[in-house]
Chain A
Amino acid sequence: MTDFPLFPEKASTIAQSVDTLYWLLVAISAFFAVLIFGLIFFFAIRYRRRRPDEIPRPILGSLRLELFWSVTPGLIAIAVFVYGTVVYFRNAAPPPDAMEMYVVGKQWMWKIQHPEGHREINELHVPVGRAVKLTMTTEDVIHSFYIPAFRVKMDVVPGRYTTMWFQPTKPGKYHLFCAEYCGTQHSGMKGWVYVMEPVDYENWLSGKATTESMAAAGERLFQKLGCQSCHRADAPGRGPVLAGLFGSTVLLATGEKVVADETYLRESILRPQAKIVAGYRTQMPTFEGQVTEEQLLQLIAYIKSLGPKERIDTAP
């Protein structure tokens, strides 16, 4: 109880913009609260009943005043809406060079994989000054990944991927909370984010015994599940070639076009019948229940790793 903060630490590039917006809203709220409280106190004293039979002259109202106090708050509301939306949109999309990490929530722990293959539970080590993008899902119920010092939060939803990003600005140790109620040990589903100097981060990475990168693990899994017998590396087999697939636009048998993102790949592995690529038949079996959420992320990391290089190779 020695430490008794009233305001959270600021440790990410967006924290200041959120705080500025917050203080602006505090100022607006304080102004209106003082105005209303002040008027009530003033009127209540100034116009207190002095004689029991006192009857004041009635006032019907005032169109001018009504318009004034509808339009003014309306304009203020629109201004803070625009400001807040700008902050939100600016903070929504990760920069293209962000490091990618993967999060799987589970009652009641956070499982994190680094692309290099390191795994952590309820801890996240990141270097200071680098943007980090998290791709997240959960094995069971909805959770929410929340780092107050970074002012970021995103729900983690079963059956789909959500993403968030941040760029830490200050080395230190920060709270990681689950913010969406998820059952018995909800308040125990928390951990720490360690922001380290880049050198320390490298040391931390190299000091940890790692078996293989996520993409390598994904490739091994790809072989083991026999995916390559249909998804051949060189020419189209019974399934489409996966090289260069990630991030490209896919034409479906229905004539629709979809972007092959993480969610699309996930669905195509678990429910191949859902979206069939034009020119192919539906022979692929479902892998629902055969691969864990973490293995799915490894498979996707592998498919992603096939991406740009192969595409350059095959480009005419």
Chain B
Amino acid sequence: MSTVWTAPPAKTETNYLNESYGIKSWLLTKDHKRIALLYLAAITFFFAIGGFFAVLIRLELITPAGDLMQPETYNKAFTMHGVMMIFFFLIPAVPAVLGNFLVPLMIGARDLAFPRINLLSWYIYMIGGLFALYAMVAGGVDTGWTFYTPYSSTYSNTQVMATAIGIFILGFSSILTGLNFIVTIHKMRAPGLTWFRLPLFIWAHYATSVIQILGTPVVAIAIVLVGLERAFHIGIFDPKLGGDPILFQHLFWFYSHPAVYIMILPSMGVISELVTCFSRKKIFGYGFVAMSSVAIAVLGFLVWGHHMFVSGQSVYAGMVFSILSYLVAIPSAIKVFNWTATLYRGSISYQTPLLYALGFIGLFTIGGLTGLFLANLGVDVHLHDTYFVVAHFHYIMVGGAIMGYLGGIHFWWPKISGRMYPEGWARFSALVLFVGFNLTFFPQFVLGYLGMPRRYHAYPEEFQVLNVLSSAGASILAVGYLIPMIYLIWSMRYGKPAPANPWGATGLEWQTPSPPPSYNFEETPVVTEEPYVYSHEEAEVV
């Protein structure tokens, strides 16, 4: 970092960042790119809160005795960690930030179909967030992010209501974003941009939007019912009032399992863009990668019962959910194989976004493979509700979804900010993240098979060594998250100005200046070929 860059004086054309100034120009903006940045600021804030609670959890678990916090505090810490990370960070992360910024740019549109609704969904998100923050400072909530009844509906004396209201409100933001994307992708594609010329990022967001629209209302209903039961004892879930506590698990997982795909599918879309760009290759098997997103979205709705293998549900129901869960693994495997095959005979450049993409493929593979254990009736009885599950879903959500998110943030940062980030630091922190992540979560697979249950504030002494390893890894992981936050903020002012297309990528978003003007494109682009055409040589079929 020898030279300090200031904005070059030659650059005078207006873009979406410098077109107008002042708080009002941001808070009342209808520009999808500015709204994306509003989301970026908001989700980074909630990520920091969720991360803070993760630190508390790992600190407590360094010793087997519950000596750092009271049990109530620990239970609130893991609940707030889950609520903040899942509802307020992972679900909106890629769609609301990168999707918002890129969907119109990638399809050659000037904005989303409903710019006002887009802004509205950010405000709804913030109102939901305020409720959750209120719940946090007013004493917290201790039900776990899963809100299982009758504990949540009858027994817990914490801020269940405020949190539930927050998540209920938040859901509308997710629904509106999904709706906006679907309409935009249907109606606003540039001339010549047929469905099978769409970038895979768009296909992934389309599939995600369908899940958001169909799934979110169900969790909203479940949350309303918990609220009504708490307030009026109406007897939906509490057996003492004639209700059925397992009903909640059905309603909750009918949304919350597809929600995992809301988190991972957009990141998969990011990975397809990164792998093609940094190997200068067409994606291997475009149709299969695109359709596997749709298959995941559809099959994802049919597997919720695998969260309930030991709930006392019928063994035959368990059998059906087990085979359906195995089916959903196949489109995921197709994606991994196609990304890998895309590298074959490519021209691979190890820039930071590709490091994240390769990290994603590796960690998602481990996360997916360990899902085979949990979908398996015979083994899941032992593994259910142990640390094996914790490790598995962190491999998917952190190793997968967050790696994809960070890879995407780095890839499009020049477009978003108009500045380059320091490549050396970026590669270094990608490596730190990969090492820290594995050290944190791999030992938890072993802990899980040993039988350590989830959500334990104190644990038997023989589990300590593995827990210390995990906490040590978490401290490395934390450094891996802090470094990018610092240099990305630094780069907004001091980074080298970015050219329109720093990576030599295809895609319409790279054909407009960095940062783009408010109206995105001077002239509506016309698309004449498939995506990822890095060479006009005739394509081989192997």
Contact = CB atoms under 8 A, between A and B. Distances in A.
A36 B451 contact: no
B534 A55 contact: yes
Interface in A146-166: 146, 148-149, 151-155, 157-160, 162
Contacts, number: 292
A151 B451 CA distance: 9
B458 A157 contact: no
9 contacts: A33-B362, A37-B365, A40-B361, A43-B343, A55-B537, A69-B337, A87-B378, A181-B148, A187-B71
B310 A70 contact: no
Contact of A25 (B287, B327, B379): B379
A66 B386 contact: no
Contacts of A39: 340, 343
Contacts of A66: 285, 288, 334, 338
A281 interface: no
B217 interface: no
A77 B327 contact: yes
A182 to B, nearest CB: 6
A43 B287 CA distance: 23
Contact of A61 (B151, B330, B541): B541
Contact of B449 (A22, A58, A142): A22
Nearest to A61: B285
B376 A84 contact: yes
B315 A92 contact: yes
B461 A1 contact: yes
A57 B327 contact: no
B369 A32 contact: yes
B378 A59 contact: no
B450 A47 contact: no
B394 to A, nearest CB: 16
A56 B345 CA distance: 7
A76 B323 CA distance: 12
B116 interface: no
B347 A58 contact: no
Pairs of residues from A and B, 8 with the lowest C-beta to C-beta distance, nearest first: A159-B239, A148-B451, A87-B378, A84-B376, A88-B377, A84-B378, A61-B285, A187-B456
Interface in A182-229: 182-188
Contacts of B144: 181
Interface stretch (A4-12, A112-120, A234-242): A4-12
A230 interface: no
B509 interface: no
A82 B238 CA distance: 36
Contact of B377 (A65, A85, A155): A85
A49 B347 contact: yes
Contacts of A62: 284-285, 541-542
A33 B365 contact: yes
A146 B462 contact: no
A159 B453 contact: no
A276 interface: no
Given A43-B344, A141-B150, A158-B245, 10 more contacts: A3-B462, A56-B345, A57-B537, A91-B381, A142-B245, A146-B385, A153-B310, A158-B238, A180-B148, A181-B455
Interface of B: 66, 71-72, 75, 142, 144, 146, 148, 150-151, 154-156, 238-240, 244-246, 279-282, 284-288, 310-312, 315, 318-319, 322-323, 326-327, 329-330, 333-334, 336-338, 340-341, 343-350, 358, 361-362, 365-366, 369-370, 372-373, 375-382, 384-386, 446, 449-451, 453-462, 464-465, 533-535, 537, 539-542
Contacts of A162: 312
Contacts of A36: 336, 340, 361-362, 365
Contact of B451 (A8, A25, A107): A8
Contacts of B385: 144, 146, 153, 179-181
Contacts of A148: 382, 450-451
B542 A8 contact: no
A217 B161 CA distance: 43
A40 B373 contact: no
A86 interface: yes
B343 A140 contact: no
Nearest to A154: B310
A60 B514 CA distance: 31
A227 B244 CA distance: 28
Interface string A11-47: 0000001100110010011001100110110011001
Interface string A267-308: 000000000000000000000000000000000000000000
Contacts of B382: 18, 22, 148, 151-153
Contacts of B315: 88-89, 92
Contact of B379 (A3, A18, A54, A187): A18
Q: Which of A59, A153, A185 has the most CB of B within 10 A?
A: A59
B381 A152 contact: yes
B131 to A, nearest CB: 23
Q: Which of B144, B279, B378, B458 has the most CB of A within 10 A?
A: B378
B540 A57 contact: yes
A309 interface: no
Given A18-B378, A160-B239, A175-B451, A47 B535 contact: no
Nearest to A156: B312
Contact of A60 (B150, B151, B282): B282
Nearest to B326: A77
Contacts of B347: 47, 49-50, 54-56
Contacts of B281: 56, 58-59
Contacts of A233: none
Given A62-B542, A186-B456, A155 B336 contact: no
A102 B419 CA distance: 67
B345 to A, nearest CB: 6
A179 B245 CA distance: 17
A37 B438 CA distance: 14
Contact of B343 (A7, A32, A44, A152): A44
A178 interface: yes
A184 B379 CA distance: 29
Contacts of A50: 347
A54 to B, nearest CB: 4
A96 interface: no
A84 B315 CA distance: 12
Given A1-B465, A21-B379, A153-B382, A56 B541 contact: no
A158 B343 contact: no
Interface in A96-110: 107
A80 to B, nearest CB: 6
Contacts of B246: 157
B330 A159 contact: no
Contacts of A6: 446, 450
Contacts of A175: 451, 460
Contact of A184 (B72, B245, B461): B72
A187 B377 contact: no
Nearest to A161: B312
A80 B372 contact: yes
Contacts of A158: 150, 238-240, 245
Contacts of A65: 285, 337, 341, 542
A33 B170 CA distance: 37
Nearest to B151: A141
B312 A160 contact: yes
Contacts of A86: 378
B451 A59 contact: no
